[in-house]
Structure 1
Amino acid sequence: MSPAESTFADRLLGRVRLGGLLSLAAPILAVVFAGLVTSIVLLITGDPPLETLGVMIDYGVQPRSIVLTLNYATTFYLSALAVAIGFRMNLFNIGVDGQYRLAALVAAAVGGAVTLPAPLHVALIIFVAMVVGAGWASIAGLLRVGRGVSEVISTIMLNAIATALGAWLLNKDRLAVEVAGSNNIGTKPIGPSGQVPGLALVSGTQTKVFGLIILAIVMGILYHVLLNRTRFGFDLRATGRSESAAVASGVNVKRMILVAMILSGAVAGLVGMPQLLGASYSYSLDFPTGLGFTGIAIALLGRNNPIGIAFGALLWAFLNTSSNILQIHEISPEIVQIMQGTIVLSVIIAYELVHRYQIAAGQRRVSKELASGTPARPEGVSA
């Protein structure tokens, strides 16, 4: 390598490192800023910020709380991955909430109606959930590529339809039965062969971690490999950055949009599986809701990176778990929601500032090189 090429490589590596540091600093600064805002709110309400944080940490590091945090994080992570697939394609899949609930309902009904050997039973339930989630998301994809309907509008409407359809299906005359000892109704319980046992990963508590935490880890690895190590992933990311450039390079944009929505919906179908197969074994009126919208926040916080999403899911799960102790100390648990909302708003602003700084820095660099007569790259080095 010539001296000119070596200098160019060093400068390029330095810019990449600087960009990585800035991207890493954005969510950290957002969390710090959210902590400052939350502290101000606590002071206004008469609650000491440091004492409140200490209470949350003391409760959050207890063995049972750690298990609850990991269980929350498992479902949050799957939800955020489903959203992130759309984000990488520049698609805003707000319909994850409806997709996972409808998928969990149908999968629970199928799982409770059949009896198979354990591996096949679990595999069937998961497969049904993914198919239902993918099918429901494909409606928004078809509307986008066929009629030009924004996926934001269609997925919001499909959430409402999924809620109504689920309520209609969850009826005694159709899929549901009465839950013994309560006024609740739910699908027929899934037999032992369709249940996934928990993992005793944390000592000092009888509560177990969802066995499907392994599924979440596998999905994170597959997400990374698919998006960053395959031609399909390159085409998807290229289409998300510039549809016109993707078309010029021979990418079928409409096909990519539809496939991305289907993949996002398939992963969304998995969101309810840890709870369904590891705890409730039935879909009832009290099945967890709102996980899709939580996934949007975590995907933004993790910047669609599987490792960043993991940290975001753990942070969100820790805040949710530790909020349970606040009311006992006469501190409003809503302070956690304030902090979470501030984190989302702050991280969006931080990423935008970093993006603008990088653009401005690039423009200054080019201007400096043009003024000095130095080419952007040495001769002989390809773009």
Structure 2
Amino acid sequence: MQVLEDLSQPYQIIDFTWPIGFYSDGIHAGLRKHKLDLGWLYSKVPAQAAGVYTTNQFKAAPTLTTAHLIKTNHQLQAMVMNSAIANSCTGALGLKNAQLTQEIAAAQLAIDPDLVGIASTGLIGEQLPMAKLTAGIHKLALTKNDALTSAVLTTDTHSKTISVQLQLSGEIVTISGFCKGSGMIHPNMCTMLGFITTDANIQAETLQQLLSTETETTFNQITVDGDTSTNDMVVALANGLAANQLIEPATENYEKFAAAFHEIMVYLAKAIAQDGEGASKLVEVTVEHAANEADAKKVAKAIVGSNLVKAAIFGQDPNWGRLVAAIGQTDAKLDIAHLNLSLNGIPLVEQSQASNSDPKILAHSMTQHQINIVVNLNVGNARGQAWGCDLTYQYVKINANYHT
């Protein structure tokens, strides 16, 4: 039995592990030259399911398929995932191949095809090599390894995983998440796939509301390059095998579960931003004293999304004019005479004018791998955050050669 070390804490981050009843595997099926490229996630019982998806109008076949399943059934028992080929803009054949993937995996797992979700990521416009995919699915096993978290990667430099445990009604509940995403990142959703699994007992409707709410302040507040992909989704699965009392909205158990769920979402969102294509720095922007939360989030995301800001951070140039320009381009309520800015705790702007901070100290601060920018709008009490990365030469190199 799992035991929390410190029951005084609302939740604890632990080494990555699958919650009770979840299994996975990841293999090299030949979709890519050398790397893992195919995997699945399986729950031994059908799990309550929730999802959020890309806002791109050209939604890929796997995205459409999974969204329909979750909306219709509110349950999934397995997810099949591949990298290399996005199965996007592939017409009727692409949809047929997504359905065929469901059927092949369902037969292998002895479950209903309508309980099998699909997720793909990679090159847009190419059909899935179904012979390789079929052979690969037949090789997948039900293990507790984490190879799946690598099989979904494209230009990512590493897998992104986190597990959290908490106690609810006397039972230990585990929430584990993983994601991929490095380039083509600009939510509302982005070129990312995210998956959150839990053995908590929670209904799909409650889980959907939580996932949708948390997405707005986490995954939808990251940007790498301003491009929104066709395949993005975040799926949450809860199989109830922890046997805790049902988590009901507006209860203490819900608040505890929501806090741990938020930790998972923030961690994964920041991990994507930090691993942006070619990135050398993670940029975190916190906007305080905004008129409302929407304005706070809007300003924060405008800053992390500005190519001029990103280039200045790469060049370690504390050019605060770039920040002010990004803020001013939004329609957020501003007091143009009373703006305050700081970078890594060092004042940049006070009352909308340059501070007296030592330029050498500022320049040295910008050599750090994480840059924290705080914006005080001085027009209210609302707060918001966003995450991004710098814009490097390597980003151009990666994307200039992505197809060829």
Fold conserved (TM > 0.5)?
A: no
TM-score, normalization: structure 1?
Answer: 0.24
| Larger helix percent | 1
TM-score, normalization: structure 2?
Answer: 0.23
Tell me which structure has the larger Cα radius of gyration. 1
